[in-house]
Structure 1
Amino acid sequence: MPPPRPPGVRTADSLGQARGPVGGRASGPLLSATAFVDEAKRAAAPARPPVDRVDPKPDGSHLVELWNRRRGFYQAGEEAALNRYVIDALSVPDRVEEGHEAVYRYRYRMAERLAHITAPVLAVCAPQDRYSLPALEEFAAALGRETAVLSGGHVPAPEQLPGEFADVVNRRFFADVLPGGDGPPGTPGGAGAVGPLGVDTALVEGR
């Protein structure tokens, strides 16, 4: 029995889209906040402290600790995003580290694997992202693809600057001529009624 199709694929099927860009933080044709994992990072990964896991304490101080883990990523006035992060982390306390662990497990030989990606890719980074920005050029060289640096933001830049993030993606994948193409793709797959990336921006901002 074949495995179930991922939700994103099912959504594309329902819209009649055979092709189209996919935005993702750690994988997909659009990469955001993805650090270049080299030999040094692989060696240090087993000894690194937990990123999001905290031990529950009777006085509730672990909630402040969890908040402070990500507070430096956000500006004053972005507390709603931090609220969502704390809620998400508390809903899966025993699994909250799995995403970070998977990044290091999957990218054991990142530089070698990136060379096999043939689809158009855009690596997007934020100027305050001290994890990804220092290695952005190294990442781009290994990938052999383009990069873009937004005007502001930190690790959660798509959440902080959703409009600019969508504009960068739309221009690259819908307005520019992609390799091998003879003109801008526009809205592929007959999805004119749906529009390019950014249609759910208001929904995301209103969460």
Structure 2
Amino acid sequence: MTAPTIRRSFVDTGAGAIHVASAGAGFPVLLLHQTPRSWDEFRDVLPLLGRDFRAIAIDTAGFGDSCKLPPAEHSIERWAAIAFEVLDALGVDGAAVVGHHTGAVTALEMAASQPARVKALVLSSCPYNDAARRSAHAGKRTIDDVQARADGAHLTELWSRRQPYYPAGDIGLMERFIADAIKAGPMASHGHVVVRNYLMEQRISLVSAPTLVLQAGSDPHAAPYAGRVAAAIGGSVLHTIAEGMVPMPDQLPELFARAVADFLSVHTA
């Protein structure tokens, strides 16, 4: 089967223009990226899911080619509301929502805030952000917090901070990360703070959609939370991709897309 073409466009929201990349037709599946990535995180996943679904990846406000907002105006709740505005603009009422890392937290809020519209949910590498985690991380430097320097040394520093969590020797994945981090600017670091500020423990019990919790087995930042996230959502399914790392969707697009498609084929029929 020939993979569908990726189409790119912009839609207007109350926050500004949001960049959209989509592929395929059928039941809509919204894909939300991690910090500080963009739709490019799902560049290889889109045509795979697009064989059976209308796969839609967006750049979260502040990232990629989407509108820029002052850091203080960002929150998980606002990102979720903007995502619904995008679906409205695309004529989509109900959709499955798939999120990775930061995107998983936004996807969870979408399911909690408008459960009738989120028909199925996939939480990939989702942290469990409660008071204990907020306290543990409060005031600490985020992984992508580097001071810009005229000689460009901050990019080497950023590369070295991230590289241990990427496949050894995979220059291409690291270059894609760096390109998105440069576009994000201050949001590369602040996006992690937005996640840190989210009161997940007050919202997760509101999730009623059929849920798949995807655990990247080789992601030390998120893998420890997978069981707790799954336990907090009644009836959820936990699936582990053992070799998955922080960049799992673009590291292992075939395995990622297959896990998502297998789950959604049952719960969006």
State which of 140, 150, 153 in structure 1 corresponds to 2:230: 140
Counterparts of 1:12-91 in structure 2 under 5 Å?
13=91, 18-25=93-100, 26=104, 27-28=106-107, 29-91=121-183
Counterparts of 1:85-100 in structure 2 under 5 Å?
85-100=177-192
Counterparts of 1:196-207 in structure 2 under 5 Å?
none
Aligned to 1:160: 251
Contact 2:219–2:246, Cα closer than 8 Å, also in 1: yes
For 1:160 and 1:63, how far apart are their aligned partners in 2? Answer: 21
Distance 1:18 1:56, change over 3 A: closer
Alpha-carbon distance, 1:48 to partner: 1.5
Deviations 1:13-34 (A, max 9, x none): 2xxx543322112232211121
Contact 2:126–2:225, Cα closer than 8 Å, also in 1: no
Aligned to 1:6: 85
Q: Report SS of the residue matched to 1:6.
A: helix
Q: Report SS of the residue matched to 1:125.
A: strand
Q: Which has the higher contact order (CA 8 A, sep 6+)?
A: 1
Question: TM-score, normalization: structure 2?
Answer: 0.58
Larger Rg: 1
Question: TM-score, normalization: structure 1?
Answer: 0.73
Q: Report SS of the residue matched to 1:72.
A: helix
Alpha-carbon distance, 1:169 to partner: 0.9
Structural RMSD (CA): 2.2
Alpha-carbon distance, 1:65 to partner: 0.2
Matched, 1:171 2:250: no
Contact 1:35–1:132, Cα closer than 8 Å, also in 2: yes
Contact 1:127–1:152, Cα closer than 8 Å, also in 2: yes
Q: Report SS of the residue matched to 1:57.
A: coil
Alpha-carbon distance, 1:9 to partner: 4.6
Alpha-carbon distance, 1:163 to partner: 0.8
For 1:99 and 1:156, how far apart are their aligned partners in 2? Answer: 16
Structure 2 residues not aligned, in runs of 5+ = 1-12, 15-81, 108-120
Contact 2:218–2:242, Cα closer than 8 Å, also in 1: no
Distance 1:79 1:44, change over 3 A: same
Contact 1:52–1:69, Cα closer than 8 Å, also in 2: yes
**Greater strand percent: which structure?**
2
Contact 2:125–2:226, Cα closer than 8 Å, also in 1: no
Contact 2:230–2:238, Cα closer than 8 Å, also in 1: yes
Aligned to 2:201: 111
Q: Report SS of the residue matched to 1:122.
A: strand
Counterparts of 1:175-194 in structure 2 under 5 Å?
176=266, 178=267, 185=269
Alpha-carbon distance, 1:60 to partner: 2.5
Aligned to 1:197: none
Letter in 1 for 2:203: R
Matched, 1:149 2:149: no
Distance 1:8 1:78, change over 3 A: farther
